[in-house]
Amino acid sequence: MLLVVGLGNPGPDYADNRHNIGFMAVDAIHRVHGFSAFRTKFHGQLSDGTIKGRKVLLLKPETYMNESGRAVQAAMTFYKIAPDDVIVLHDELDLAGGKVRVKRGGGHAGHNGLRSVHAHIGDAYARLRLGIGHPGDKQRVIGHVLKDFSKAEKTWLGPLLDAIADNFPRLVTGDDGGFMSKVAAALPKPEPKSEPKPEANPAGNNQTEQTKER
């Protein structure tokens, strides 16, 4: 059994925040793969389904980000799930918007949700890091993650969530590299920058050149 956890904050005020991209990704997986309706359990919203013949649980903790580990631990204890059968989907400041990386084990890099998960179950779980970009100033981080995605960001957000859901079976079977490649290939490519057109010589300049030639 695999436990897939999306990190975020509950309630409509946070629903479209950058910090809630983990919730958004879990909702996309839920929609595409025909999981059961979410129900309240383990301090969160829980759903179950099957992907590639493997039983998968989807969990959205409702403890708020800083206490996410309580919900994760409760579900793991009840179903006797090992840490290496857990995948946590979360926002990642250190990746550009739309970039995705899979990481198994390691530190929490200061992410409060991961910090809580670490405290409750250790660090042996997998993470799906979903890039939201960095505001450039440490003092602006909280405001950045707790604000909604901009109109420009939504041009890649929708395709990203669709690609994660469509290709999630690869992650379930352990094909991390194939998953990342397929997701990257599905995203819209940035438009190439057009070369500036050379300025036409003003008439006065042409006359000057002609005078010089004579």
Query: Which helix or strand (DSSP H or E) is residue 30 part of?
Result: helix 21-32
Question: Are 9 and 141 in contact, with CB atoms under 8 Å apart?
Answer: no
Q: Can you give the length of the chain in residues?
A: 214
Name the E strands within 12-76.
39-41, 44-51, 54-61
> 3-state SS of 194-213?
CCCCCCCCCHHHHHHHHHHH
Would residue 19 show up in a list of annotated catalytic residues for this protein?
A: yes
Query: Which helix or strand (DSSP H or E) is residue 126 part of?
Result: strand 126-131
Q: What is the DSSP string of 137-174?
A: SGGGHHHHHTSBPPTTTHHHHHHHHHHHHHHHHHHHTT
Catalytic option among 19, 30, 33, 111: 19
- Residues identified as active-site: 19
